[in-house]
Structure 1
Amino acid sequence: MTATDVFPQREKNVRYSDRSALNTLEYCLPQPWRSSRRLWIIYIHGGAWQDPEIDASSFGNAQDLLMKSRELEHIAGFASINYRLSPYPSHPRLPSDPSDPARNAHHPDHINDVLAALHYLQDTFHFSHEYLLVGHSCGATLALQVAMSRNWAAHRESTQASQPNVVPPVAILGVEGLYDLPALVENHSDQPVYKDFVANAFGPDEAQWAATSPTSGDYEASWPTGKLVVLAHSREDELVEWDQVDRMHRALRTQGFDEAQGDQRLKLVELSGKHDQVWQEGRELARAIQETVQVIGSSIRGFLL
């Protein structure tokens, strides 16, 4: 960057891997880098691991609002990640093709892509744990799976055996998240689509669903540097019930995350709106991020000074 660079700087369709056409990300640098104590905000979209109509651009409205917020002074950059999707041959407008590597992913392909994207960003912009990882719906699953990532290192694709280490984030924000997959499927046993998309992404073995669920994470071992988890959810969500939040909240509490004290903090943020309305309008997603940045600034020593 030079003194003549114009900000904000925005880039789309940035390739972080050559695995498929969906291995891209977009980023925005709102202003010149001035301090290592500024956060990156990195977003992972939802869509049940399979919906081609929800992608990295779904962060756009929330990002535009954050660009006008007072929290912007604490933000070094924004990024939004695309990743390979699971097959969806019955999609009414964009059915998947069995020959398309971008639309035939199964666990751990999705999380491997997110890890590759994070490595690209860390290597390009020279930051370490100074980022907030945000995920909506299955993106929240993926965000917490980053913190769990040691759990399936042995199951990575053979091409990922030498995957560079990714420094995990200082904080994670899950928005309308899927945290306990067996419970999600059970709670919607009268709606086969839930079992279908979970099995499509993780296979038919229910033990695998449990093992990969964020509620099963051993964060004391896999994410000892984690400082904050925020769970943001709307009681108006028509697709994902509050029970998912309760289960994730209990799992984190048993591992030392606490709302009131300690080095690992936990916060609940109640949102308003339907499941996708939260990101489509952007206001509630942006508010959840703003509140999370505020907690980081007030509760985590050495950040956002």
Structure 2
Amino acid sequence: MSFTSTTIPYSTLSSLNNLTLHLPTSPPQSAQSIWLICIRGGAWCDPFITSACFDATIKHLLSSSPASHISGIASLNYRLSPYPSHPTDPSSPHDPARNAKHPDHITDVLTAILFLQDKYKFGDRYILIGHSCGATLAFQVAKKRYWGKQYESTEALELNVEPPLAIIGVEGIYDLPTFVSEYAHEPFYRGFVEHAFGRDEAVWKEASVADVDWEESWTDGREVVIVHSEDDKLVSLKQPERMWKALGERGWKDDEGAERRRRFVKLTGLDHDEVWEDGKALAGVIGEVIGRLT
């Protein structure tokens, strides 16, 4: 199946408010076709991880049979948090693309999704795929209606985005306080979380996605897939296991006939970024979800 690719802006806020769009030259006619929206990781701050990180995964996916059900794929960039200590590309305090603080990241992601929904009219017929902090952002999209009162007046909540049918969290971060606590011996972890969310740990807890009343927030969600490699050296299995348990406590079932399904896919032999650098295993997981939703 043939696709064309282009990078376009979804906002004028900064040079990073853009997305890479992959559209089929002959769009599927079925009402059951679906969109894919990918959210890059990079600890909310890494300038070298971009929307292109999903290119290998997309290439594998588009050479497989599920591609015939895809109406479009978008891979998102968004404003990054400060990283003044980056060894080769330190952020400048004057760069609007690299001084974001929560909820700027999720506001950008919601703005991009709303841009796509308005233009292509796919509503909730899409799958969100997020890697690392992109997984946090993916679940924050679904959590959008469940934010605490401190965010009630933010631009993020004013964006009328329809949440997806399914979310695939890949090497994800789901509980910020326990994540920082686990890696207390490595200051970098606390550093990038503080750059993204500030020092108030109550904000970290509020921004986390493990303990959410999905019945209230994400009423139409049908499937969650947690993908994690046992050989990830940056994010341990404690994060996906935390999310898996929390989903179960909220009524998500791991059987095929469940109305709200959860799956845990454990990979081996791949480090944190190698999951998207290789892309083959991830493309297989995405293809299976497309099959179940179409």
Give me the TM-score of the superposition, normalised by structure 2: 0.94
Report the equivalent of 1:106.
101
Report the equivalent of 1:253.
248
Identical aligned residues as a percent: 47
Q: 1:270 aligns with which of 248, 266, 269?
A: 266
Conserved in 2, the CA contact under 8 Å of 1:112 and 1:156?
no
1:81 and 2:52 correspond: no
Q: Distance in 2 between matches of 1:158 and 1:214?
A: 20
Give the C-alpha shift of residue 163 in structure 1. 3.8
SS of structure 2 residue aligned to 1:238: coil
Report the equivalent of 2:114.
119
Q: Distance in 1 between matches of 2:112 and 2:277?
A: 23
Report the equivalent of 2:200.
205
Conserved in 1, the CA contact under 8 Å of 2:28 and 2:69?
no
Q: Distance in 1 between matches of 2:78 and 2:163?
A: 18
Q: Distance in 1 between matches of 2:37 and 2:157?
A: 24
Deviations 1:191-217 (A, max 9, x none): 111111111111101121111111122
Aligned residues between the structures: 291
1:146 and 2:144 correspond: no
Conserved in 2, the CA contact under 8 Å of 1:7 and 1:32?
no
Alignment of 1:211-290 (within 5 A): 211-260=206-255, 261-272=257-268, 273-290=270-287
Cα 1:162/1:291, change in 2 over 3 Å: closer
Conserved in 2, the CA contact under 8 Å of 1:108 and 1:155?
no
Q: Distance in 1 between matches of 2:89 and 2:289?
A: 35
Q: Distance in 1 between matches of 2:223 and 2:267?
A: 18
5+ unaligned residues in a row in structure 2: which ranges? none
Cα 1:154/1:35, change in 2 over 3 Å: farther
Give me the TM-score of the superposition, normalised by structure 1: 0.91
1:24 and 2:21 correspond: no
SS of structure 2 residue aligned to 1:211: helix
SS of structure 2 residue aligned to 1:10: strand
Deviations 1:78-106 (A, max 9, x none): 11000000000111111111011110000
For the aligned residues, what is the CA RMSD?
1.8
Report the equivalent of 1:130.
125
5+ unaligned residues in a row in structure 1: which ranges? 1-5, 298-303
- Amino acid in the other structure paired with 2:73: F
SS of structure 2 residue aligned to 1:231: strand
Give the C-alpha shift of residue 285 in structure 1. 2.1
Cα 1:153/1:109, change in 2 over 3 Å: farther
Q: Distance in 2 between matches of 1:161 and 1:140?
A: 17
- Amino acid in the other structure paired with 1:265: R
Give the C-alpha shift of residue 155 in structure 1. 4.7
Q: 1:70 aligns with which of 57, 65, 68?
A: 65
Q: Distance in 1 between matches of 2:274 and 2:70?
A: 24
